[in-house]
Amino acid sequence: MHACAIWTLQTILHLLMRPGPACMMQLTSIMEEESSKVGLFVNPDMYKVMTTSTWYDRMDIQAAGIDLEAVSDFCYFGSYISYKGSCEKDVTVRTGKAAAVFGKMRGVWKSSKISLRVKVRLYESVTLSTFLYSAESWPLTATSLKQLDGAHHRWQKSILTVSWKNKITNQEVRARIKQHSIASTHDERRLRWPGRVLRMDHQHILQQALHWEVQGFKRGPGRSRTNWRGVVKKDLQKWDSPGRRQRWQLSTDQNGVGV
């Protein structure tokens, strides 16, 4: 790697470790300068500023001489990133998009000429894939999980043409449709990615990012927020039984590993 590129990378990493608007402004200037060398130019309309803490010294961040918009969350590759690190908005958006997809196929669900097996396969490939897009990175809370579970069971009952008046439990609905709960399905998907990362070489960038911690960081008083790493540890504790661990191994095609 060129010496100038190495110096720039080291400077960026150093600035990222120093919070504050002055460092952010300097980082933006470096990015503009380096991008212009290869014919790339910054579009200020596509840039947003999001912080995870309050800046006491007010200073607007600029790109191409224009102040960038400060937001509390933004959409990146179809997923919403929040300044709190939560996934509430992403869960709400995904539920809405999956509901729209499910509604467009209402004729399929009501058709008596299509078997239940085909309907379930369509539901899993179309609706469920939209519903759980990027769910591997969600630090789900009990409230968000309840929201996902409610939508999942509502769609399953619609496929079976079961009304709330029939007073059929969710467990019986899942048994008829031969599907697991959304919590179990989500846990399986979430453990699939760290299982692959943890089997990589220790020098791999993903391995380093997974275990990386900010030196000298001290969390403030109060209960800690739900984060992805903590949720994965709880998942592994729930799956720490011979039957469940074997199922996880089959889903990842490798032996289970701890975080």
256: pLDDT confidence band, cut at 50, 70 and 90?
Answer: very low
Instruction: Count CA atoms within 13 Å of residue 97 on its CB side.
Output: 15
Same-domain pairing of 197 and 235: yes
pLDDT above 90 (res 102): yes
Report if residue 257 sits inside a domain: no
> Which of the four pLDDT bands, split at 50, 70 and 90, describes residue 257?
very low
Q: In percent, how much of the chain has pLDDT > 90?
A: 17
pLDDT in tens, 162-180: 887 778 888 888 888 888 8
- Please say if the pLDDT value at position 107 is more than 80: yes
Question: Higher confidence at residue 141 or residue 105?
Answer: 105
**pLDDT of residue 16 exceeding 60:** no
Confidence of residue 258 (pLDDT cuts 50, 70, 90): very low
* Residue 52's pLDDT band (cuts 50, 70, 90): low
Tens-place pLDDT, residues 59-85 = 677 777 777 777 888 888 888 888 777
Residue 91 shares a structural domain with residue 160? yes
Same domain, 66 and 83: no
- Domain shared by 174 and 86, yes or no: yes
Stretch 145-169: mean pLDDT, rounded?
Answer: 87
Determine the Cα–Cα distance for residues 124 and 98; give it in Å rounded to an integer: 11
Q: Is the pLDDT of residue 9 over 50?
A: no
* Domain contains 168: yes
Cβ neighbours, 10 Å, residue 51: 15
User: Residue 145's closest CA among 226, 37, 257, 61?
Assistant: 226
Domain residue limits at 244: 189-213+224-252
- Domain count for the chain, please give it: 3
User: Is the domain of 100 the same as that of 62?
Assistant: no
Q: Write down the pLDDT at residue 97.
A: 94
Q: Residue 232: what are its φ and ψ, rounded to 5°?
A: -65, -40
